[in-house]
A = this chain, B = another copy of it.
Amino acid sequence: MSFYDKLKFNSDGLIPAIIQEQSTGRVVMMAWMNRASIETTIATGKTHFWSRSRQKFWMKGESSGHTQTVKDIAFDCDGDTLLIQVEQIGAACHEGYKSCFFRSVEESGDGFKTTEPQLETPEQIYGKK
């Protein structure tokens, strides 16, 4: 049986993909894939996603150079989420952090704090406009 037969895409034909840096276990981002982006991810060994805001197929790192080399693709019991292990080049977050999850809720209330260093500024990553 093909693993595609186990997947449940949502009404927009999309499935969320959690991206984890294999060497550190750090969850670096979550993005959405359609069937074509999964096929391209498997064929090329680099993560490809579907941008809901831009309605566009994209390869992670196509602008920044911060590509993700795929090491493993897992799927959950319900077949509605992917967990992809990668080797991450540079910052995964477009704001220059290793992980998009660089802020956490403070224990004392509903404020938040930054929990990791900014590796680069967006201007350094994408160049000044």
B76 near A30 (CB under 8 angstroms)? yes
The listed residue (B4, B73, B77, B102) touching A102 by CB distance below 8 A is B77
Give every chain B residue within 8 A of A95 (Cβ-Cβ): 77
Q: What's the Cα separation between A58 and B3 when bound, in Å?
A: 29
A residues near B (Cβ < 8 Å) are 1-4, 6, 16, 18, 20, 24-27, 29-30, 42, 72-78, 81, 83, 93-95, 97, 100-105, 110-112, 115
Chain B residues lying within 8 Å of A25, measured Cβ to Cβ, are: 24-26
Contact status A74-B20, CB under 8 Å = no
| Known contacts A3-B103, A18-B18, A74-B103; 12 further A-B pairs (Cβ under 8 A) | A1-B112, A3-B105, A16-B16, A25-B25, A29-B76, A30-B81, A72-B104, A74-B102, A76-B101, A77-B93, A77-B94, A81-B101
Report the bound CA distance from A18 to B29 in whole Å.
10
Distance in Å from the Cβ of A17 to the closest Cβ of chain B?
A: 10
